[in-house]
Amino acid sequence: MLSGRMTEDLKRKTSWLDRVSSRVGAATGLSGSPEMLRTATRAYMPLGKQIVILGGELVGLELAEFLTERGRQVTVIDDEPMLGAGLTVVRRMRIVAELREHGVALFPGASQIQIESDGVLFVDADGRRQRFAADQVIVAKGTHEDRTLAEALRAAGFAVVEAGDGLEVKYIEGAIRGAWDAVEAVETGR
Ligand SMILES: Cc1cc2nc3c(=O)[nH]c(=O)nc-3n(C[C@H](O)[C@H](O)[C@H](O)COP(=O)(O)OP(=O)(O)OC[C@H]3O[C@@H](n4cnc5c(N)ncnc54)[C@H](O)[C@@H]3O)c2cc1C
């Protein structure tokens, strides 16, 4: 949407006005500016009031923070027993406490999660059946490596050096380190 490209899925999920504004944003370069987007999303986003996020790792929790700041009523559901398990202890404790303070409903350890047309059904960690209404359900379930493209290129005879989360999820520092190692590998021919 931000780049102004439109797929059939996006057409189905967005209004005519959303599509025109995203095209104007892309054509004028406005949607390429993070500062501008940050400000604009406080006034408008193509999302309803009630949002359920499936996934309580870094991305799901930061998204919950972002949406709550923009007046959305957010619920985070994950089948993992601990939210933000991959975060450093201090960051995890802060974000979880702050989300609770701001009224975000957090459900780690959920099971039997079912997305319906207007909400999400699940069994919470205490075995109770829960249902949360949702205008949108956002799946933000973690990241994993994917080497299929690198392997296909290698099989086609290209010399490929991999770096970043595609090779192994190690976040920003890992990606920077991986890029450094990749350049070194190319320069030294290793
Ligand atoms: C919401 C969110 C918050 C995060 N917060 C943090 C944080 O606080 N700290 C932290 O360390 N990490 C954080 N991360 C994770 C971090 O962004 C990634 O680990 C890091 O960006 C991985 O770097 P990368 O170079 O491997 O991949 P990316 O940064 O994802 O770069 C891959 C690039 O390849 C492009 N691309 C993909 N497919 C193609 C294709 N076929 N052709 C051409 N280009 C293509 C993509 O558009 C993208 O620009 C966060 C991630 C998200 C989504």
Pocket of ligand 1 (CB under 6 A): 58-59, 62, 164-166, 171-173, 175
List pLDDT tens digits, range 37-49: 889 899 988 899 9
Q: For residue 7, count CB atoms less than 10 angstroms from its CB and return exposed for 0-12, middle for 13-18, buried for 19 or more.
A: exposed
Element housing 39 (H / E): helix 34-43
Q: Which of 1, 2, 5, 165 to probe ligand 1 with, by most ligand atoms within 8 A of CB? A: 165
Domain residue limits at 83: 47-142
The pLDDT score that the predictor gives to residue 92 is 94
Q: Does residue 19 share a domain with residue 98? A: no
The distance from CA 152 to its chain's CA centroid, rounded to whole angstroms, is: 27
Q: Does residue 184 share a domain with residue 118? A: no
pTM of the model: 0.79
Select from 126, 102, 114, 98 the least CA-distant residue to 52. 114
CA angle 102, 115, 58 (to 5 degrees): 45
Could you tell me the distance, in angstroms and rounded to a whole number, from the CA of residue 144 to the centre of ligand 1? 12
List pLDDT tens digits, range 111-139: 999 999 999 999 999 999 999 999 999 99
Give the nearest ligand 1 atom to 171 CA.
19
CATH number at residue 89: 3.50.50.60
